Amino acid sequence: MKQNAHFNPKSSSWVISLVVMIAISAAVVFGSEAIYGSANKKFTEPVEVGFTVSSTKEIDIASSNAADYHVTAAEEAYDASGALVAYVIKCTTVGYNAESPIELAVTISADGTLVCGIDVLSQKETEYLGEKIATDAFKGQFTGRYLPVIITGDTAKGSPIDAVSKATISSKAVVDGVNKAQAFVLENYVKTGA
């Protein structure tokens, strides 16, 4: 007569199998987090901007694709020795108040990888909420961050920026403007090796 397989609580093989599965699962979880952490380490903390801008020179953007990136002006930035260290990109981005775009000045390193600082030149976002994008506390988060930048909690790869509480649309608009400024710099000024 054939016996059906059944669970025997006195058998230790099920306990061993369970322990092995838990150990493998833990190794996969912690291993993937370690790999993710090492791949994204450069995005976790700001770095020191190793230069000071001493002078700037306007760039003629009339024949470029500036409109595609909402760029209104561009400048080359030089240190005291006359070396090109960054680009200052003036651009617009649409936040909560779609009728009045936010105007930004974004300073990006000459190699196009680092935000050296941002300034909000003009904004008419919601009073007491969205207007906080112009505060030093919000703007300061961008300095020394590798590009691209993302809003904290976004799953994309990038340097996390904390959104202004209850002003996520305005915060995301600034992040979008900074990333578009970088894309413009990369496409028009950064020479890639061939």
Asked, for residue 2, whether it belongs to a domain, the answer is no
Domain assignment of residue 169, yes or no: yes
pTM of the model: 0.79
For residue 3, the model assigns a pLDDT of 60
Instruction: Identify whether residues 62 and 28 lie together within a single domain.
Output: no
Show the domain range for 23. Answer: 13-42
Bond before 9 cis per omega within 30 degrees: no
Tell me: the pLDDT tens digits for 97-120? 999 999 999 999 999 999 999 999
Percent of the chain with pLDDT over 70: 86
What rounded mean pLDDT belongs to the chain? 88
> Are 89 and 131 contained in the same domain?
yes
pLDDT of 29 > 80? The answer is no
Reply yes or no on whether the pLDDT at 194 is more than 50. no
Answer yes or no: do 175 and 97 share one domain.
yes
Domain count along the chain: 2
Residues 89, 179 share a domain: yes
Give how far Cα 54 sits from Cα of 81, 138, 154, 162, Å: 9, 25, 36, 30
For residue 126, being part of any structural domain is answered with: yes
C-alpha–C-alpha distance, residues 150 and 120, integer Å: 18
Q: How far apart are CA 129 and CA 166, in angstroms?
A: 7
Q: For position 13, what pLDDT does the model report?
A: 72
The answer to whether residues 148 and 103 belong to one domain is yes
Position 125 scores a pLDDT of: 95
* Number of residues in the chain: 194
- The DSSP output letter for 152 is T
137 and 183 in a common domain: yes
Tokens for 186, please give them. 């990369």
CB 186 within 8 A of CB 113: no
